[in-house]
Structure 1
Amino acid sequence: MSSESAERPRRLTRAEAKARTRALVLDAAARTFARKGFAGASVEEIAEAAGFSIGAVYSNFGSKERLFVELLSDRASGQVAEAERILAEQVEAGQSPLLALGRMLTEVADKDTDLGLLQAEFWLYAVRNPAALDTLAARMREPRDALAEIVSGALDPRSPGAGTSPTAVATVVMALFHGLVRQRRIDPASVPDDLFGQALGWLFTGIEADPPPRPSPGP
């Protein structure tokens, strides 16, 4: 085999090329939506920023709204996967996973500066458009359910709160995370590096100390 053929880059498969296109479009969409807002950003601008045709954007996502929903879902899924990795590493090393998760929040708030803007932008759009609200809620259940699996493993089965719904806890954790990310962008000093980890500690301590409320008896 000649050195020229050895150095020739491998051609991407159809699936790899599609995944690469989607990733580049999502990155371009994040920048464009954060800068111009959902209403102000056009598919043409996003396609140009990604280096593809408008047709490539529509063939992969179908519409601007679906592109935005996919973007938020992709970011949330990535955060849950990162949280799972951090927890596994910290438990194996005998360190505090909650403090590590606190550091994760500050990194997201300080480095992924578009995240809070994207969440706020689509929340405003979705609450004014019920169809979009339903779509966003459905797509965000996947990362929430993945987080619920992590929460389920973190709850002490011997504690009074062992019967607490992992899905309910995951919902609170996600809301806490996103709220603190936004607050740190507004006032960094009010959300120090370890606050999210401390807040998670307070949450789980409270859950494990108190049993979940019993359902009301039927008539």
Structure 2
Amino acid sequence: MNAESAAPARRRLSRAEAKARTRSLLLDAAARVFARKGFTGASVEEIAEAAGFSIGALYSNFGSKEALFLELLADRHTDRIAEAAQALERHPSGTGEAAAELSRLLIAVADKDTDFAPLQAEFWLYAVRNPEVLDTMAANQRAPRHALEQVISTSLTRHDAPADVSAEAVATVVAALFGGLVRQRRIDPASVPEELFGDALRWLFTGIRTGAAAPSDTDDTA
């Protein structure tokens, strides 16, 4: 028996597996082309060619260049949230180690993922000028935002936050803080030292605890 006949036959991918592989390759190609050309400068033809597929395959999987970018954006957000959740799971007491890990995550995004922050800013401006895209952008970010809310909800419980503190509202603040500090770090690195994000999170949760412990304006102090 020769080596060729002895080699195991390659398993044929199922329809679902083939579709997932195609989507993954298109997303990888899109990330490269967007990084090189920007959102408006990149074309669906270039992305499809870079992935090794037809334009029809791109449209059948994503529908539009905007939808492709939003999927890429949601994947990035989901990955970051997963990293944050892992940091908090490693340090469930909410100690300085968790804050330090989250700070390092922000610095890595700001200093190493240098192509994507400008792309997000470019797409945000594009979406603001195209309200139908803005609506789709909001809808597409709900899943990663919900995942962040779950992480925040766990942290609020650990910090003995009052029941009326909304995990959704705190998640909105944390996401805005992260994105804002990433942009500021890109503009002026010295103004956003490595520990700042972790410090800001401690300030936020300390304020929540302090607010919970403070007497209400309606308390009868007479």
Per the normalisation by structure 1, the TM-score is 0.86
Partner in structure 2 of residue 152 of structure 1:
153
Cα distance per residue 1:86-127 (max 9 Å; x no partner) = 221233897621211111111122222222012101100110
Q: What is the aligned partner in structure 1 of residue 199 from structure 2?
A: 198
Whether the 8 Å contact between 2:153 and 2:167 is mirrored in structure 1 is yes
- Write the letter of the residue equivalent to 1:110: D
Structure 1, 23-32 or 41-50: larger mean CA deviation: 23-32
1:82 aligned residue: 83
Deviation at 1:11, TM superposition (A): 3.8
Unaligned 5+ segments in structure 2 are 217-222
**Equivalenced residues, count:** 213
| Partner Cα distance (1:17, 1:158) in 2 | 45
CA contact under 8 A between 1:151 and 1:166: conserved in structure 2? yes
Separation in 2, partners of 1:118, 1:127:
14
More off after superposition, 11-20 vs 51-60 = 11-20
Kept in 2, the 8 Å contact 1:30–1:114? The answer is no
Query: 3-state SS of the aligned residue for 1:116?
Result: helix
CA contact (8 A) 2:88 2:94 kept: no
Shift of 1:2: 7.6
Moved more, 2-11 or 34-43: 2-11
Query: Which sections of structure 1, spanning at least 5 residues, go unmatched?
Result: 215-219
66 and 160 in structure 1: CA distance in 2 versus 1, 3 angstrom threshold? closer
2:31 corresponds in structure 1 to 30
Is residue 155–residue 208 contact of structure 1 (8 Å, CA) maintained in 2?
Answer: no
Deviation string, structure 1 residues 153-208 (Cα, Å, up to 9, x no partner): 11147746442100000011111111111222222222222211111111111112
1:99 aligned partner: 100
> What TM-score does the superposition give when structure 2 sets the normalisation length?
0.85
Greater Rg, structure 1 or structure 2? 2
Matching of residues 108-147 of structure 1 within 5 Å: 108-147=109-148
Mean Cα deviation higher: 178-187 or 125-134: 178-187
Q: What percent identity do the matched residue pairs reach?
A: 63
